[in-house]
Structure 1
Amino acid sequence: MSSPTEDVVRQRAKQGRTCITYSGNVYDVTDFVSKHPGGVDVFEEHSGHDVTEAMHSRETHKHSKHAFTILEKYCVRKVQKSSNNEDADLFSMEDKYFYNRQEGYTDPVDWKKPVLPQIPKLGEQYFEWAHQPTDLPLRLFHSDFVEYFSKCSWWMVPMYWVPAMLAMIYTAYTGLSEHPDLWLPWMAGGIEINVSRMPYLFLLGALSWTLLEYVIHRWVFHLKPPTQYPIILQLHFLLHGQHHKAPMEKGRLVFPLVPANILAVIMYSLVRLVCPRLMTLSVISGTVLGYMTYDLIHYYLHHGSPSLTYFKNLKRYHVKHHFEQQHKGFGISSKLWDYPFNTLITE
């Protein structure tokens, strides 16, 4: 004779729903499958089965306390457990404290309203709140027009930036073919920048992005903002806090075109201070390639199902950054700069 739990799972499976069981409870995770940070493949393996051991196993992936908070909203059948629950040893004292605290927890933000105007009232709560992930849909602005431009689909990145990169390369190539630039003219006559140097400048720009990516992510995006300035709290949330709060939002995983263009202008202006125009275009075109690679990899790590070992490892690494060790793992397209800066996630 089947148990009530098995009956619920079987009935929902007939309706095309995806269900799992955890610690005796039944969870209908159909609406969560496409959002799952570990990819959709996991549910193909575990659908209809008990995941209690798997969710606590380090061999697969030991889920963070935030994962259990998200899981709870999908519960469709809850059983009462006795004090000598056989699964009790799976939980640490820290986990138990967190779960007990969450029972009486009220989110200070009303998710039925635009979130950005509510950020200033969080004050000292802001930084901790922003780093407690949720899968709730996020709306930032009252205005539909502004809200539309606060999002960006992944395919808009190459559609916009590939032509921009090619235009920079073409302008630099045709210009340098006619009149080579002279760099540092006050130093022994300067250095001639001609077409033959373009590949090296392009590569320099691409590699420089990997460092810039790390620096911005660590010392701008993860800098704890001063709570006495509401505008800075809102700016921090716009730049990166929103991504850590709602990491499963597909429309907020790549940079929208407006802030991306502002960043591009700043970068161009900084390089232009020390380099002639055509040389600057050669470097920045490579930086644009590095940026596109970063943005597309970031999207893929959140919503792709990698088959290559490199991206599988990188996906696990980035999931740990979001849900376990948010003070480490600042490299996204690679772990390169986490090594010399001692922020590598090793566990």
Structure 2
Amino acid sequence: MQRLFTIVTHHSIPPILLALIVGFVSLVLWAPWWIWGFVLLGVPAQMLNEYTLHRFVFHLAPPQKQWAFNLLYEAHYGHHDFPTNTKLFFAPVWVSVPMMVINFAIVWAVASFVVPAHAVMIATAVVLVGGVATFLGYEWFHMTAHVNCSKSWLARHVTKLHNQHHFRDFSKWFHVSPGGHVIDRVMGTAIDTNALKQQQRIEFIRTLGLRPDDPRLVAARQHYADRFDLSEKDLQQAARA
């Protein structure tokens, strides 16, 4: 129940959940039966989208401009900096909602060339139902990987790989959703157990290679201290980590 409360009370989850409900109801009311097959297409599409966003956007080189650094800190750097802070578990709404809208527009545009009469319903099936459901699953498993709770075999497997990303090598294991490790292996960002045993832990791993007292990090922590409930002790410990 605690995990359920944590996820549904985060500001980015209700609009995404609403989109899923609207999409599902739309398919029930107006879509022909064969449109439901496109829901399955949304699963791998969203998993690939998650990997791409995490690897190539959330792990961008740290910007020099403080405003840009702050955005990246809120989107992802802060989660690495404070990996147990529940307010930093989930993608901010200004990331998740625009990405959903962009994905919907792309699928609708492609479908318009093939089956224009059903383009909206196809985009609804792929993005608002299959994609959003997969995204919510990602957010659930990501949260579960970071909390101390009873976990299924699948959740323990996800946690093991995600812990390697956070605490051993942040350039590996970008995926969190079950089955996403296949994408990491194909893309060359997996690391096997034997290689991990021989690899040194990356320096300043919680700050993605930046010195913990980097002025940009210090400024970003101060900027978001109230929003993320960071105490003065938290800020001082982070700067010395």
Q: TM-score range by the shorter chain?
A: 0.5 to 0.7
Tell me, yes or no, if the aligned pair for 1:226 and 1:233 is still in contact at 8 Å: yes
Match of 2:176 in 1: 332
- Give the TM-score, by structure 1 length: 0.47
Match of 2:167 in 1: 323
Quote the Cα distance in structure 1 between the aligned partners of 2:155 and 2:126: 27
Equivalence map 1:144-159=2 (5 Å): 153-156=6-9
Cα distance, 1:237 vs. partner?
1.2
Alignment match of 1:197 (pick from 34, 46, 59): 34
Summarize deviations over 1:33-62 as a string: whole Å, max 9, x none.
Answer: xxxxxxxxxxxxxxxxxxxxxxxxxxxxxx
- Give the TM-score, by structure 2 length: 0.66
Match of 2:200 in 1: none
Aligned residue for 2:110, secondary structure, equals coil
Match of 1:120 in 2: none
User: Which structure's residues are more often helix, by fraction?
Assistant: 2
Quote the Cα distance in structure 1 between the aligned partners of 2:19 and 2:135: 12
Quote the Cα distance in structure 2 between the aligned partners of 1:214 and 1:328: 11
Aligned-CA RMSD value: 2.1
Quote the Cα distance in structure 1 between the aligned partners of 2:143 and 2:109: 33
Percent identity, aligned pairs only, is: 23
Match of 2:45 in 1: 208
Match of 1:166 in 2: 21
Summarize deviations over 1:72-93 as a string: whole Å, max 9, x none.
Answer: xxxxxxxxxxxxxxxxxxxxxx
Quote the Cα distance in structure 2 between the aligned partners of 1:330 and 1:168: 28
Cα distance, 1:294 vs. partner?
0.3
Q: Quick check: which has more Rg, 1 or 2?
A: 1
Cα distance, 1:301 vs. partner?
0.5
Quote the Cα distance in structure 1 between the aligned partners of 2:27 and 2:151: 38
Aligned residue for 1:317, secondary structure, equals helix
Equivalence map 1:1-347=2 (5 Å): 153-156=6-9, 160-176=15-31, 195-227=32-64, 229-275=65-111, 276-284=119-127, 285-334=129-178, 335-346=181-192, 347=196
Change (3 A) 1:256 1:225: closer
Summarize deviations over 1:181-214 as a string: whole Å, max 9, x none.
Answer: xxxxxxxxxxxxxx23223200101221111111
Tell me, yes or no, if the aligned pair for 2:27 and 2:36 is still in contact at 8 Å: no
Tell me, yes or no, if the aligned pair for 1:221 and 1:236 is still in contact at 8 Å: yes
Cα distance, 1:267 vs. partner?
1.8
Quote the Cα distance in structure 2 between the aligned partners of 1:226 and 1:317: 28
Equivalenced residues, count: 177
Change (3 A) 1:214 1:248: same
Runs of 4 or more consecutive aligned structure 1 residues displaced over 3 Å after TM superposition: 156-163, 256-259
Quote the Cα distance in structure 1 between the aligned partners of 2:80 and 2:123: 34
Cα distance, 1:328 vs. partner?
0.6
Tell me, yes or no, if the aligned pair for 1:153 and 1:254 is still in contact at 8 Å: no
Tell me, yes or no, if the aligned pair for 1:218 and 1:330 is still in contact at 8 Å: yes
Cα distance, 1:169 vs. partner?
2.2
Cα distance, 1:160 vs. partner?
4.8
Cα distance, 1:258 vs. partner?
4.4
Aligned residue for 1:320, secondary structure, equals helix
Cα distance, 1:341 vs. partner?
0.7
